[in-house]
Structure 1
Amino acid sequence: MRSTLLSVLTGLLLASGAAGADDMPTFRLLMKDGHFFPETLEVPANTRFRLEVKNEGPGATEFESLELKKELVLAPGVTRNLVFFPMKPGSYKFFDDFHPATGQGRIVAR
């Protein structure tokens, strides 16, 4: 009886975690030729979200934010995801270390 209850509870926890990941809002960021598209991403404040970052350029790129403590290097043609914990309302800068003159952007949490 005890092991059956434990199995049921474990199954419910796993199912609720999977459902929570699928319900997470996803925002897309394209990197190409040293630029971010869009340069400004608006996201809901106080909400966990996923950022899908795609490099369509011919060389390596990097998504980096010192404020948000996130860093992701992408080879050409690669798409990767970053998960962000809920942010307070505000503006958070990010940049491409490989293209510092043009690779500047921000996430605005409202």
Structure 2
Amino acid sequence: MMKNRLPLTVLCSIAMLSVSQSHAQQATEIHVTYANGQFRPSAVQAPADKPVIFRVKNLDAKAMEFESTSLRVEKVVAANSEGIINVRALKPGRYEFYDDFNDTARGALTVQ
């Protein structure tokens, strides 16, 4: 009986990997740099109904926290490092984000 289960397990793993790769290929990737306490660019765009991957490169000497209530995400990005934030598929609209450690660092994602 164990012989029959192994191929099924392998097939399920391959199917899940294919779905993950397909999902990653469909996502819109947005690169944002955080330097001198500000996001650059501070205004970004993405198409509607597609997942979004934010790649936030923190060039500052202290940690920052990428946060957004409307996107339902928060992630601390260590000093001089990069953080990856996965966001679900979004409907058209404007979604603000900010550094929770710095009130003046703000940005917005416009989804069309």
The residue matched to 2:71 in structure 1 has which SS? coil
The equivalent position to 1:28 in structure 2, one of 10, 19, 31, is 31
Indicate yes or no: 2:72 matched with 1:69. Answer: yes
Shift of 1:12: 4.0
Which amino acid in the other structure matches residue 98 of structure 2?
F
Distance 1:92 1:25 in 2: 15
Q: Does structure 1 residue 46 correspond to structure 2 residue 49?
A: yes
Contact 1:33 1:58 in 2 (8 A): no
Q: TM-score, normalised by structure 1?
A: 0.85
Residue of structure 1 aligned with 2:103, choices 83, 100, 104: 100
Tell me the TM-score normalised to structure 2 length: 0.84
Partner residue in 2 for 1:14: 16
- State the distance in 2 between where 1:42 and 1:60 align: 25
Q: Determine the C-alpha separation between the residues in 2 that align with 1:69 and 1:20.
A: 23
In terms of fraction of residues, the more strand-rich structure is 2
Q: Does 1:80 align with 2:59?
A: no
Kindly report the root-mean-square deviation, in angstroms, between the aligned alpha carbons of the 2 structures.
Answer: 1.9
When structure 1 is superposed on structure 2, of 59-68 and 36-45 the one drifting more is 59-68
User: Can you give the 5+ residue segments of structure 1 that lack an aligned partner in the other structure?
Assistant: none
CA separation of 1:6 and 1:65: change in aligned 2, threshold 3 A: same
Superposition deviation, residue 4 in structure 1? 6.9
Give, in angstroms, the shift of residue 8 of structure 1: 6.0
Q: Percent identity?
A: 28
More displaced stretch, 63-72 vs 15-24: 15-24
Q: Unaligned 5+ residue runs, structure 2?
A: none
CA gap 1:8/1:30 in 2 versus in 1, 3 angstroms? same
Greater CA deviation, 73-82 or 17-26? 17-26
Per-residue Cα deviation, 1:28-77 (whole angstroms, up to 9, x for no partner): 11111110011011011110121111100122211110112211111211
